[in-house]
């Protein structure tokens, strides 16, 4: 049975929600599910924009069949070749042998890799600025390389003034029937998952996102249709503003994220004391035990907060395992322009602070605040003075940024 929603007179959402996948891309937890969006344009010619993940293939096929109402798709536009959007391409091509596949030259090569040369031979390559007239609608193709794969295209409908934006402006989380962003309290219920999606999926490619935003600024865009998450038909400046902020690596929140690892609770206790001292000075604080919380959530708030504290014990002469993994994850996403502070613990040879600093050192625009705090086994009065001094240094740095 079909489950579609009309976007406007000629566009229909034919995608599907999935709540059975525990991990998106095999690594990112999706406790609230995820949507795989596909869209159908019904005009003198019919155009299917992208397919879906194999996990929702049955729903997708039922939706497409219903929305076509006996017609066949004339075109399949491939914006992005990741299998969560392209897995059903070969089956659609078999079902509709006269359907023309449109994609970038790089995507054509990937089609041959994911599927076969025979399917790739059915491709018509389109590039930046090429147009397709479907009757009432004129579609213009926009290159969006490295947002977040090199083959990515976007499509701008010059008639309805909507932008099919591939993986940009998306979010984790199933739609739960609410296709449009204005049908939910986005800031309260979705923003954190939109940020987590951006930071972990697209976050490394800030310069490329900025290039796409500049292209979008030259268009009269009245609707955004991403491949995951909600469709934007109102208040587009909200999500465009978030992407501008995130892609410039500017923090949303003046405050402190404390990420800690602790074997027996002593490092955690020192981190909690630091959090108390900061909160007493009116500083907003968010804390994560990196051995409990998956790194995608911590990476997301590293993009959000202006100041980051990393606290970990020395373990086998190095950084404790989960903290080491987190810092490498943050470094791999190329986060820029953060203030940071360090807290280490060690019973006989604490070396974590300098090793954590070495993992952060390649990142652009990072500046250390205050001296590293060293705890030996457990925090005592002597270390409390150092913790308080670090809290004062961080608070003063934040107050200085607010002026």
Each residue's pLDDT tens digit, 122-169? 999 999 999 999 999 999 999 999 999 999 999 999 999 999 999 999
**Domain co-membership, 91 together with 188:** yes
125 and 18: one domain? Answer: yes
Task: Kindly tell me the burial class for residue 311, based on how many C-beta atoms sit within 10 Å of its own C-beta (0-12, 13-18, 19 or more).
Answer: buried
Q: For residues 65 and 184, state if they share a domain.
A: yes
**Tokens standing for 70?**
């006996």
Tokens representing 88 are 């059903």
Q: What is the pLDDT of residues 267-290, one digit of tens each?
A: 999 999 999 999 999 999 999 999
CA–CA distance, 27 with 297 (Å, rounded to integer):
12
Q: What is the mean pLDDT of residues 300-306?
A: 98
Number of domains in the chain: 2
Q: For 183-197, 210-224, 367-381, which range has the lowest pLDDT when averaged over its residues?
A: 367-381
- CATH number for 132: 3.60.15.10
319-339: average pLDDT: 97
Distances (CA, A) of 119 to 22, 109, 115: 31, 11, 7
Share of the chain above pLDDT 90, in %: 95
pLDDT value of position 380: 86
**Which of 247, 278, 294 is where one domain is finished?**
247
pLDDT tier at 400, thresholds 50, 70, 90: confident
pLDDT score for 256: 98
Q: How far apart are CA 39 and CA 384, in angstroms?
A: 58
The pLDDT value given to residue 228 = 98
Q: What's the burial of 293, exposed, middle or buried (CB within 10 Å: 0-12/13-18/19+)?
A: middle
What pLDDT sits at residue 384?
87
pLDDT tier for residue 401 given thresholds of 50, 70 and 90: low
Q: State yes or no: pLDDT of 403 exceeds 70.
A: no
**In a domain? residue 108:** yes
pLDDT, tens only, 204-263: 999 999 999 999 999 999 999 999 999 999 999 999 999 999 999 999 999 999 999 999
**220 & 265 share domain:** no
**Are the CB atoms for 13 and 179 separated by under 8 Å?**
yes
What pLDDT is recorded for position 33? 97
Half-sphere exposure of 76 (CA within 13 A, CB side): 32
- The residue among 247, 281, 299 that closes a domain is 247
C-alpha dihedral (213, 214, 215, 219), degrees to nearest 10: 90
Q: Percent of the chain at pLDDT above 70?
A: 99
Q: Residue 5 pLDDT > 80, yes or no?
A: yes
Tokens of 109: 């090569």
Give the pLDDT confidence of 160-189 residue by residue, as tens digits.
999 999 999 999 999 999 999 999 999 999
CB 103 within 8 A of CB 153: yes
Residue ranges of alpha helices (H) inside 145-265 are 186-189, 191-197, 206-217, 236-247
Q: Which domain holds residue 327?
A: 257-396
51 neighbors 89 (Cβ within 8 angstroms): yes
Please compute the mean of the pLDDT values over residues 56-62 and round it to a whole number.
96
Q: What is the pLDDT of residue 349?
A: 87
Query: How confident is residue 194, by pLDDT bands cut at 50, 70 and 90?
Result: very high
Q: How far is CA 183 from CA 43, 175, 178, in A?
A: 27, 10, 6
Closest listed residue to residue 191, CA positions, set 146, 148, 147, 235: 235
Handedness of CA 102, 108, 112, 113 (dihedral sign): negative
CATH code of the domain covering residue 296: 3.40.50.360
Looking at 247, 274, 297, the residue that finishes a domain is 247
Answer yes or no: do 200 and 311 share one domain: no
CA dihedral (85, 88, 93, 96) positive or negative: negative
Q: Do 262 and 243 lie in a common domain?
A: no
243 and 265 part of one domain: no
Taking residues 369-387, what's their average pLDDT?
90
Question: Are 50 and 39 a contacting pair, CB within 8 Å?
Answer: yes
Quick one: 267 and 238 in the same domain? no
Q: What is the pLDDT of residue 254?
A: 96
Q: Specify the pTM.
A: 0.94
The predicted pLDDT at position 402 comes to: 46
Give the chain's mean pLDDT. 96
Displacement of CA 239 from its chain's centroid (Å): 13
E-strand spans in 50-148?
75-77, 100-103, 123-125, 131-133, 138-143
* Maximum alpha-carbon separation in the chain: 78
As a residue count, the chain comes to 403
Residue 382 has pLDDT above 90, yes or no: no
């Amino acid at each position: 049975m079909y489950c579609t929603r009309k976007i406007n007179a000629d566009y229909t959402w034919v995608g599907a929600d999935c709540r059975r996948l525990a991990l998106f891309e095999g690594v990112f937890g999706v406790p609230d599910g995820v949507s795989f969006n596909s869209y159908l344009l019904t005009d003198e010619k019919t155009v299917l924009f992208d397919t879906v993940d194999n996990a929702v293939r049955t729903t997708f096929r039922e939706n497409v069949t219903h929305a076509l109402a006996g017609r066949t798709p004339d075109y399949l536009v491939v914006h992005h070749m990741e299998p969560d959007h392209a897995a059903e391409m070969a089956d659609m091509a078999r079902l509709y042998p006269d359907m023309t596949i449109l994609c970038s030259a790089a995507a054509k090569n990937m089609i041959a890799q994911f599927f076969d040369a025979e399917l790739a031979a059915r491709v018509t390559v389109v590039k930046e600025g090429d147009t397709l007239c479907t009757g009432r609608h004129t579609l213009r193709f926009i290159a969006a390389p490295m947002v977040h794969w090199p083959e990515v295209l976007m499509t701008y409908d010059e008639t309805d003034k909507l932008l099919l934006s591939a993986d940009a402006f998306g979010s984790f989380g199933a739609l739960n029937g609410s296709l449009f962003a204005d049908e939910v309290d986005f800031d309260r219920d979705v923003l954190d998952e939109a940020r987590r999606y951006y930071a972990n999926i697209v976050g490394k490619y800030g310069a490329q996102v900025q290039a796409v935003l500049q292209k979008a600024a030259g268009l009269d865009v009245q609707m955004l249709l991403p491949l995951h998450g909600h469709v934007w038909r109102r208040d587009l400046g909200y999500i465009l503003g978030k992407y501008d902020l995130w892609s410039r690596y500017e923090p949303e929140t003046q405050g402190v994220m404390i990420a800690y690892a602790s074997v027996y609770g002593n490092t955690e206790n020192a981190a909690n004391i630091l959090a108390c001292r900061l909160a007493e000075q009116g500083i907003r604080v968010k804390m994560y035990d990196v051995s409990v919380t998956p790194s995608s959530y911590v990476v997301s708030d590293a993009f959000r907060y202006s100041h980051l504290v990393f606290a970990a014990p020395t373990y086998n002469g190095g950084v404790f395992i989960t903290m080491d993994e987190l810092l490498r994850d943050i470094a791999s996403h190329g986060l820029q322009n953060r203030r940071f502070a360090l807290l280490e613990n060690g019973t006989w040879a604490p070396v974590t602070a300098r090793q954590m600093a070495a993992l952060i050192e390649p990142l652009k625009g990072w500046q250390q605040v205050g001296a590293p705090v060293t705890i030996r086994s457990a925090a005592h009065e002597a270390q409390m003075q150092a913790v308080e001094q670090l809290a004062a240094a961080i608070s003063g740095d934040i107050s200085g940024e607010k002026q």
